[in-house]
Copies of this chain bind each other. A is one copy, B any other.
Protein backbone atom coordinates (compact mmCIF):
# COMPACT_ATOMS: atom_id res chain seq x y z
CA UNK A 1 0.00 0.00 0.00
CA UNK A 2 1.31 3.43 -0.89
CA UNK A 3 2.23 5.79 1.93
CA UNK A 4 0.76 9.27 2.33
CA UNK A 5 3.25 11.94 1.36
CA UNK A 6 4.22 15.28 2.84
CA UNK A 7 6.24 17.60 0.65
CA UNK A 8 8.66 20.26 1.88
CA UNK A 9 9.38 22.97 -0.62
CA UNK A 10 7.64 25.23 -3.04
CA UNK A 11 10.40 25.56 -5.62
CA UNK A 12 10.52 24.19 -9.14
CA UNK A 13 11.38 20.64 -8.00
CA UNK A 14 8.49 20.43 -5.55
CA UNK A 15 6.20 21.83 -8.23
CA UNK A 16 7.17 18.98 -10.57
CA UNK A 17 7.37 16.32 -7.91
CA UNK A 18 3.77 16.56 -6.71
CA UNK A 19 2.17 15.76 -10.11
CA UNK A 20 4.68 12.93 -10.58
CA UNK A 21 3.79 11.47 -7.18
CA UNK A 22 0.08 11.73 -7.94
CA UNK A 23 0.52 10.11 -11.34
CA UNK A 24 2.03 7.07 -9.59
CA UNK A 25 -0.87 6.85 -7.17
CA UNK A 26 0.66 8.55 -4.11
CA UNK A 27 -1.61 10.83 -2.12
CA UNK A 28 0.04 14.11 -1.19
CA UNK A 29 -1.51 15.20 2.09
CA UNK A 30 0.54 18.18 3.17
CA UNK A 31 2.78 20.90 1.78
CA UNK A 32 5.24 23.04 3.66
CA UNK A 33 6.48 26.43 2.47
CA UNK A 34 8.63 29.01 4.19
CA UNK A 35 5.84 31.57 3.97
CA UNK A 36 2.19 30.82 4.62
CA UNK A 37 1.10 32.69 1.47
CA UNK A 38 3.40 30.86 -0.93
CA UNK A 39 2.47 27.50 0.60
CA UNK A 40 -1.23 28.34 0.35
CA UNK A 41 -0.90 29.43 -3.23
CA UNK A 42 0.97 26.33 -4.40
CA UNK A 43 -1.22 23.94 -2.38
CA UNK A 44 -4.26 25.38 -4.13
CA UNK A 45 -2.61 25.11 -7.51
CA UNK A 46 -1.56 21.48 -6.98
CA UNK A 47 -4.71 20.41 -5.09
CA UNK A 48 -3.02 19.56 -1.78
CA UNK A 49 -5.53 19.58 1.10
CA UNK A 50 -3.20 20.90 3.80
CA UNK A 51 -0.48 23.54 3.81
CA UNK A 52 1.60 25.15 6.50
CA UNK A 53 4.76 27.11 7.22
CA UNK A 54 5.45 25.14 10.43
CA UNK A 55 7.49 22.03 9.74
CA UNK A 56 6.08 20.03 12.68
CA UNK A 57 2.61 20.28 11.19
CA UNK A 58 3.78 18.18 8.27
CA UNK A 59 6.09 15.87 10.21
CA UNK A 60 3.40 15.04 12.79
CA UNK A 61 0.59 14.83 10.23
CA UNK A 62 -0.97 11.43 10.80
CA UNK A 63 -1.50 10.65 7.11
CA UNK A 64 2.09 11.44 6.20
CA UNK A 65 4.37 8.39 6.11
CA UNK A 66 6.87 9.59 3.53
CA UNK A 67 8.46 13.02 3.65
CA UNK A 68 9.98 14.52 0.51
CA UNK A 69 12.33 17.41 1.31
CA UNK A 70 13.16 19.73 -1.57
CA UNK A 71 14.22 22.94 0.17
CA UNK A 72 17.38 25.07 0.24
CA UNK A 73 20.47 23.08 1.37
CA UNK A 74 20.92 24.94 4.65
CA UNK A 75 17.53 23.70 5.89
CA UNK A 76 17.42 20.05 4.80
CA UNK A 77 19.37 18.49 7.66
CA UNK A 78 17.08 19.80 10.38
CA UNK A 79 13.89 18.49 8.74
CA UNK A 80 15.38 15.17 7.62
CA UNK A 81 16.79 14.29 11.03
CA UNK A 82 13.57 15.24 12.77
CA UNK A 83 11.44 13.29 10.29
CA UNK A 84 13.47 10.12 10.90
CA UNK A 85 13.18 10.69 14.65
CA UNK A 86 9.41 10.79 14.33
CA UNK A 87 9.52 7.56 12.32
CA UNK A 88 8.84 8.84 8.82
CA UNK A 89 10.49 7.67 5.62
CA UNK A 90 12.60 10.37 4.00
CA UNK A 91 13.66 11.46 0.53
CA UNK A 92 15.87 14.50 0.94
CA UNK A 93 17.84 16.98 -1.13
CA UNK A 94 21.51 17.56 -0.27
CA UNK A 95 22.65 19.45 2.81
CA UNK A 96 24.84 22.56 2.82
CA UNK A 97 27.84 21.17 4.71
CA UNK A 98 29.61 17.91 5.47
CA UNK A 99 28.75 18.29 9.15
CA UNK A 100 25.05 18.48 8.31
CA UNK A 101 25.44 15.49 5.99
CA UNK A 102 27.15 13.60 8.78
CA UNK A 103 24.25 14.32 11.14
CA UNK A 104 21.88 12.95 8.53
CA UNK A 105 23.99 9.81 8.23
CA UNK A 106 23.93 9.34 11.99
CA UNK A 107 20.14 9.60 12.02
CA UNK A 108 19.79 7.22 9.06
CA UNK A 109 22.05 4.65 10.77
CA UNK A 110 19.94 4.93 13.90
CA UNK A 111 16.73 4.10 12.03
CA UNK A 112 17.77 1.50 9.45
CA UNK A 113 14.19 0.30 9.07
CA UNK A 114 13.18 3.69 7.66
CA UNK A 115 13.77 4.63 4.05
CA UNK A 116 16.34 7.42 3.80
CA UNK A 117 17.58 8.34 0.34
CA UNK A 118 19.02 11.41 -1.31
CA UNK A 119 16.68 13.22 -3.69
CA UNK A 120 19.51 13.33 -6.18
CA UNK A 121 18.08 11.80 -9.27
CA UNK A 122 20.52 11.22 -12.11
CA UNK A 123 21.16 7.61 -11.07
CA UNK A 124 17.58 6.72 -12.02
CA UNK A 125 17.73 8.23 -15.51
CA UNK A 126 17.27 5.27 -17.91
CA UNK A 127 20.36 6.29 -19.90
CA UNK A 128 22.52 5.98 -16.77
CA UNK A 129 20.84 2.78 -15.65
CA UNK A 130 21.73 1.33 -19.06
CA UNK A 131 25.21 2.87 -18.97
CA UNK A 132 26.00 1.32 -15.60
CA UNK A 133 24.75 -2.05 -16.78
CA UNK A 134 26.94 -1.91 -19.88
CA UNK A 135 29.96 -0.82 -17.84
CA UNK A 136 29.43 -3.83 -15.58
CA UNK A 137 29.16 -6.05 -18.66
CA UNK A 138 32.49 -4.71 -19.89
CA UNK A 139 31.39 -2.68 -22.91
CA UNK A 140 34.31 -0.24 -22.51
CA UNK A 141 36.78 -2.67 -20.93
CA UNK A 142 38.73 -1.21 -18.06
CA UNK A 143 37.48 2.32 -17.28
CA UNK A 144 40.18 4.95 -17.81
CA UNK A 145 38.61 8.38 -18.08
CA UNK A 146 35.27 9.99 -17.31
CA UNK A 147 34.71 13.34 -18.91
CA UNK A 148 31.64 15.37 -18.02
CA UNK A 149 30.41 18.71 -19.27
CA UNK A 150 27.37 20.54 -18.06
CA UNK A 151 26.55 23.88 -19.61
CA UNK A 152 23.53 26.01 -19.02
CA UNK A 153 22.11 29.41 -18.22
CA UNK A 154 22.59 31.10 -14.85
CA UNK A 155 21.49 29.16 -11.76
CA UNK A 156 20.72 32.32 -9.82
CA UNK A 157 17.21 32.99 -8.60
CA UNK A 158 15.42 36.11 -9.77
CA UNK A 159 16.01 37.77 -6.41
CA UNK A 160 18.96 37.61 -4.06
CA UNK A 161 18.92 34.42 -2.03
CA UNK A 162 20.77 31.22 -1.18
CA UNK A 163 21.59 30.49 -4.83
CA UNK A 164 23.91 33.52 -4.76
CA UNK A 165 25.72 32.47 -1.60
CA UNK A 166 28.50 29.94 -1.65
CA UNK A 167 28.17 29.26 2.10
CA UNK A 168 24.44 28.59 1.78
CA UNK A 169 25.01 25.81 -0.76
CA UNK A 170 24.61 27.92 -3.90
CA UNK A 171 26.68 27.65 -7.05
CA UNK A 172 27.22 25.22 -9.89
CA UNK A 173 29.49 22.86 -7.99
CA UNK A 174 27.11 22.35 -5.09
CA UNK A 175 23.88 22.39 -7.09
CA UNK A 176 24.80 20.47 -10.24
CA UNK A 177 28.32 19.18 -9.56
CA UNK A 178 27.14 17.16 -6.58
CA UNK A 179 24.73 15.20 -8.80
CA UNK A 180 27.64 14.48 -11.16
CA UNK A 181 29.98 13.44 -8.34
CA UNK A 182 27.34 11.02 -7.10
CA UNK A 183 26.67 9.72 -10.60
CA UNK A 184 30.35 9.07 -11.37
CA UNK A 185 30.90 7.08 -8.20
CA UNK A 186 27.75 5.11 -9.01
CA UNK A 187 28.83 4.43 -12.62
CA UNK A 188 32.42 3.50 -11.86
CA UNK A 189 31.70 1.71 -8.60
CA UNK A 190 34.54 3.57 -6.95
CA UNK A 191 35.14 6.80 -5.07
CA UNK A 192 37.38 9.81 -5.42
CA UNK A 193 40.41 9.86 -3.16
CA UNK A 194 42.04 13.05 -4.44
CA UNK A 195 40.55 16.06 -6.16
CA UNK A 196 41.70 19.27 -7.75
CA UNK A 197 39.45 22.12 -8.72
CA UNK A 198 38.99 25.67 -9.77
CA UNK A 199 35.90 27.78 -9.07
CA UNK A 200 35.10 31.17 -10.49
CA UNK A 201 32.29 33.66 -10.19
CA UNK A 202 32.39 35.50 -13.49
CA UNK A 203 29.07 37.27 -13.02
CA UNK A 204 29.18 38.86 -9.58
CA UNK A 205 26.38 41.32 -10.20
CA UNK A 206 23.52 41.57 -12.65
CA UNK A 207 20.51 43.77 -13.23
CA UNK A 208 18.73 42.23 -10.23
CA UNK A 209 21.65 41.67 -7.87
CA UNK A 210 23.59 44.90 -7.48
CA UNK A 211 24.58 47.65 -5.10
CA UNK A 212 26.36 46.24 -2.06
CA UNK A 213 25.21 42.71 -2.96
CA UNK A 214 27.54 40.42 -4.75
CA UNK A 215 27.24 36.81 -5.88
CA UNK A 216 29.76 34.55 -4.11
CA UNK A 217 28.64 31.21 -5.53
CA UNK A 218 30.49 29.80 -8.55
CA UNK A 219 29.14 30.04 -12.08
CA UNK A 220 32.15 28.21 -13.51
CA UNK A 221 33.73 25.17 -11.96
CA UNK A 222 36.18 22.73 -13.21
CA UNK A 223 37.45 19.78 -11.24
CA UNK A 224 39.33 16.55 -11.54
CA UNK A 225 38.91 13.47 -9.42
CA UNK A 226 41.30 10.57 -9.08
CA UNK A 227 39.25 7.52 -8.31
CA UNK A 228 40.01 3.91 -7.43
CA UNK A 229 43.29 2.60 -8.74
CA UNK A 230 44.33 0.92 -5.55
CA UNK A 231 45.33 -2.19 -7.47
CA UNK A 232 48.90 -1.86 -8.64
CA UNK A 233 47.97 -3.02 -12.14
CA UNK A 234 45.59 -0.13 -12.65
CA UNK A 235 46.04 3.60 -13.16
CA UNK A 236 42.66 4.20 -11.60
CA UNK A 237 40.06 6.41 -13.18
CA UNK A 238 40.64 10.09 -14.01
CA UNK A 239 37.47 12.13 -13.98
CA UNK A 240 37.28 15.62 -15.37
CA UNK A 241 34.19 17.73 -14.89
CA UNK A 242 33.49 21.14 -16.45
CA UNK A 243 30.48 23.11 -15.28
CA UNK A 244 29.67 26.41 -16.91
CA UNK A 245 26.54 28.36 -16.13
CA UNK A 246 27.27 31.42 -18.17
CA UNK A 247 25.77 29.81 -21.23
CA UNK A 248 22.36 31.22 -22.07
CA UNK A 249 20.36 28.95 -24.32
CA UNK A 250 19.66 25.31 -23.82
CA UNK A 251 21.05 23.02 -21.18
CA UNK A 252 23.82 20.66 -22.31
CA UNK A 253 24.89 17.61 -20.35
CA UNK A 254 27.39 15.12 -21.67
CA UNK A 255 28.79 12.26 -19.61
CA UNK A 256 31.47 10.21 -21.31
CA UNK A 257 33.20 7.12 -20.00
CA UNK A 258 36.26 5.97 -21.92
CA UNK A 259 37.77 2.57 -21.35
CA UNK A 260 40.40 0.31 -22.80
CA UNK A 261 38.11 -1.17 -25.46
CA UNK A 262 35.40 1.40 -26.10
CA UNK A 263 33.43 4.30 -24.81
CA UNK A 264 29.93 5.24 -23.71
CA UNK A 265 28.48 8.73 -23.91
CA UNK A 266 25.21 9.96 -22.45
CA UNK A 267 24.12 13.15 -24.18
CA UNK A 268 21.13 14.59 -22.39
CA UNK A 269 18.83 11.59 -21.94
CA UNK A 270 20.27 9.46 -24.76
CA UNK A 271 23.02 6.89 -24.61
CA UNK A 272 25.58 6.29 -27.35
CA UNK A 273 28.48 3.88 -27.54
CA UNK A 274 31.42 3.00 -29.68
CA UNK A 275 33.64 -0.03 -29.38
CA UNK A 276 37.28 0.23 -30.38
CA UNK A 277 36.85 -2.00 -33.40
CA UNK A 278 33.99 0.00 -34.87
CA UNK A 279 34.08 3.12 -36.99
CA UNK A 280 30.67 4.40 -36.01
CA UNK A 281 28.95 5.43 -32.83
CA UNK A 282 25.79 3.47 -32.12
CA UNK A 283 22.66 4.79 -30.45
CA UNK A 284 22.13 2.46 -27.51
CA UNK A 285 19.17 4.12 -25.87
CA UNK A 286 17.11 6.82 -27.53
CA UNK A 287 14.81 9.26 -25.89
CA UNK A 288 11.31 7.83 -25.95
CA UNK A 289 9.75 11.26 -25.71
CA UNK A 290 8.68 13.00 -22.56
CA UNK A 291 4.97 13.23 -21.86
CA UNK A 292 5.30 14.71 -18.38
CA UNK A 293 5.40 18.36 -17.35
CA UNK A 294 8.00 20.69 -18.88
CA UNK A 295 9.85 22.92 -16.46
CA UNK A 296 12.10 25.69 -17.62
CA UNK A 297 14.26 25.63 -14.48
CA UNK A 298 14.73 21.87 -14.50
CA UNK A 299 16.80 20.24 -17.21
CA UNK A 300 15.33 17.17 -18.86
CA UNK A 301 17.84 14.62 -17.45
CA UNK A 302 16.98 15.70 -13.91
CA UNK A 303 13.26 15.78 -14.68
CA UNK A 304 13.23 12.29 -16.15
CA UNK A 305 15.48 11.03 -13.38
CA UNK A 306 13.05 12.39 -10.80
CA UNK A 307 10.17 10.73 -12.63
CA UNK A 308 11.98 7.37 -12.64
CA UNK A 309 12.80 7.72 -8.96
CA UNK A 310 9.13 8.30 -8.13
CA UNK A 311 8.27 5.13 -10.10
CA UNK A 312 10.89 3.22 -8.11
CA UNK A 313 9.44 4.57 -4.86
CA UNK A 314 6.00 3.36 -5.91
CA UNK A 315 7.35 -0.13 -6.63
CA UNK A 316 9.23 -0.16 -3.35
CA UNK A 317 6.18 0.66 -1.24
CA UNK A 318 3.69 -1.27 -3.35
CA UNK A 319 5.42 -4.51 -2.43
CA UNK A 320 4.17 -4.27 1.13
CA UNK A 321 0.77 -4.19 2.78
CA UNK A 322 1.74 -1.81 5.54
CA UNK A 323 1.84 1.88 4.58
CA UNK A 324 5.28 2.52 6.04
CA UNK A 325 6.99 -0.65 4.89
CA UNK A 326 9.07 -0.72 1.76
CA UNK A 327 11.16 -3.17 -0.24
CA UNK A 328 14.87 -2.58 -0.78
CA UNK A 329 14.97 -3.87 -4.35
CA UNK A 330 13.42 -1.08 -6.42
CA UNK A 331 15.33 1.68 -4.60
CA UNK A 332 18.59 -0.25 -4.24
CA UNK A 333 20.35 2.08 -6.72
CA UNK A 334 19.22 5.23 -4.89
CA UNK A 335 21.96 7.24 -3.19
CA UNK A 336 21.93 6.75 0.57
CA UNK A 337 22.68 9.44 3.13
CA UNK A 338 26.17 7.91 3.28
CA UNK A 339 26.52 8.68 -0.42
CA UNK A 340 25.30 12.19 0.36
CA UNK A 341 28.08 12.60 2.91
CA UNK A 342 30.65 11.36 0.39
CA UNK A 343 29.40 13.83 -2.23
CA UNK A 344 29.44 16.72 0.21
CA UNK A 345 32.97 15.77 1.28
CA UNK A 346 34.14 15.85 -2.34
CA UNK A 347 32.42 19.21 -2.92
CA UNK A 348 34.23 20.68 0.07
CA UNK A 349 37.55 19.17 -1.00
CA UNK A 350 37.15 20.74 -4.46
CA UNK A 351 36.44 24.12 -2.85
CA UNK A 352 39.49 23.70 -0.60
CA UNK A 353 41.57 22.85 -3.66
CA UNK A 354 40.36 25.96 -5.45
CA UNK A 355 41.57 28.04 -2.51
CA UNK A 356 44.84 26.20 -1.91
CA UNK A 357 45.64 25.46 -5.54
CA UNK A 358 46.65 21.96 -4.47
CA UNK A 359 45.32 18.44 -4.79
CA UNK A 360 43.17 17.73 -1.77
CA UNK A 361 42.42 14.39 -0.17
CA UNK A 362 38.85 13.24 0.23
CA UNK A 363 38.51 12.15 3.83
CA UNK A 364 35.07 11.09 4.91
CA UNK A 365 34.16 12.32 8.39
CA UNK A 366 33.90 9.44 10.84
CA UNK A 367 32.90 11.39 13.90
CA UNK A 368 31.31 14.73 14.46
CA UNK A 369 33.83 17.47 15.18
CA UNK A 370 33.53 18.68 18.75
CA UNK A 371 31.78 22.07 18.67
CA UNK A 372 33.66 23.00 21.84
CA UNK A 373 36.99 22.12 20.26
CA UNK A 374 38.16 25.71 19.89
CA UNK A 375 37.00 26.57 23.38
CA UNK A 376 38.83 23.59 24.83
CA UNK A 377 41.99 24.54 23.01
CA UNK A 378 41.77 28.07 24.38
CA UNK A 379 41.32 26.73 27.91
CA UNK A 380 44.21 24.36 27.39
CA UNK A 381 46.43 27.23 26.31
CA UNK A 382 45.48 29.25 29.38
CA UNK A 383 46.40 26.39 31.67
CA UNK A 384 49.98 26.27 30.44
A185 at interface (Cβ–Cβ under 8 A)?
no
Q: Is the CB of B238 within 8 A of A200?
A: yes
Q: Which residue of B lies closest to A147 (CB)?
A: B242
List chain B residues, Cβ under 8 A from A224.
198, 222
A220 at the interface (CB under 8 A from B): yes
A39-69 CB mask vs B (1 if < 8 Å, else 0) is 0000000000000000000000000000000
Give Cα A139 to B187, complex, Å. 39
Q: How far is the CA of A297 from the CA of B242 in the complex (A)?
A: 29
Which residues of B lie under 8 Å from residue A276 when comparing CB positions?
A: 248
Cβ of B357 and Cβ of A244 under 8 Å apart?
A: no
> CA of A11 to CA of B344 in the docked complex: distance in angstroms?
51
Q: Once the chains bind, are B238 and A263 in contact (CB under 8 Å)?
A: no
Given A238-B222, A249-B278, A281-B249, A244 and B200 touching (CB < 8 A)?
Answer: no
For residue A248, which residues in chain B have a CB less than 8 angstroms away from its CB? 274, 276-278
Least CB distance from A205 to B in Å reads 12
Contact B260 A145 (CB under 8 A): no
Q: Does residue A202 face the partner (Cβ distance < 8 Å to B)?
A: yes
Q: A276–B281 Cα gap in the complex (Å)?
A: 32
Give bound CA distance, A144 to B154, whole Å: 14
A202 to B238, CA, bound (A): 10
Copies, count:
2
Contact A200–B235 (Cβ < 8 Å): yes
Closest chain-B Cβ to A101's Cβ sits at a distance in Å of 27
Report Cα–Cα, A200/B238, bound state, in Å: 9
Given A202-B144, A220-B144, A260-B202, also A249-B196 (CB < 8 A):
no
A263 near B278: Cβ-Cβ < 8 Å: no
Q: Is the CB of B281 within 8 A of A258?
A: no
Chain A interface (Cβ < 8 Å from any Cβ of B): 144-145, 147, 149, 196, 198, 200, 202-203, 220, 222, 224, 235, 238, 240, 242, 244, 246-250, 258, 260, 263, 274, 276-281, 357-359
Closest to A248 in B: B276
Contact call B202/A279, Cβ cutoff below 8 A: no
Whether A145 contacts B220 in the complex (CB less than 8 A), given A258-B247, A357-B359, comes out as yes
Min CB distance, A251 to chain B, in Å?
Answer: 12
Chain B residues near A247 (CB-CB < 8 A): 258, 263
A279 touches B200 (CB 8 A): no
What separation, in Å, do the CA atoms of A200 and B235 have in the docked complex? 8
Of all chain B residues, the one with the shortest Cβ separation from A220 is B145
| 5 closest Cβ pairs, A-B complex | A248-B276, A357-B359, A144-B202, A222-B240, A249-B274
Contact of A145 among B238, B244, B274, B277 (CB under 8 A): B244
Please report the C-alpha to C-alpha distance between residue A278 and residue B247 in the assembled complex, in whole angstroms.
Answer: 11
A196 to B357, CA, bound (A): 9
New A-B pairs, 15, CB < 8 Å, besides A222-B224, A222-B238, A249-B278:
A144-B202, A144-B246, A147-B149, A147-B244, A196-B196, A196-B198, A196-B357, A200-B235, A202-B235, A202-B260, A244-B258, A247-B263, A248-B274, A358-B358, A358-B359
A-B contact pairs, 15 of them (CB 8 A): A145-B202, A145-B220, A145-B246, A147-B149, A196-B196, A196-B357, A198-B238, A200-B238, A202-B235, A246-B260, A248-B274, A248-B276, A249-B279, A250-B279, A357-B359
CB distance from A156 to the nearest CB of B (A): 14
Tell me the nearest residue of chain B to A240, going by C-beta: B222
- CB contacts (< 8 Å) of A258 on chain B: these are 244, 246-247
Q: How far is the CB of A247 from chain B (nearest CB, A)?
A: 7
Q: Nearest-CB distance from A282 to chain B (Å)?
A: 11
CA distance in complex: A258, B357 (Å)? 23
Q: How far is the CA of A249 from the CA of B278 in the complex (A)?
A: 7
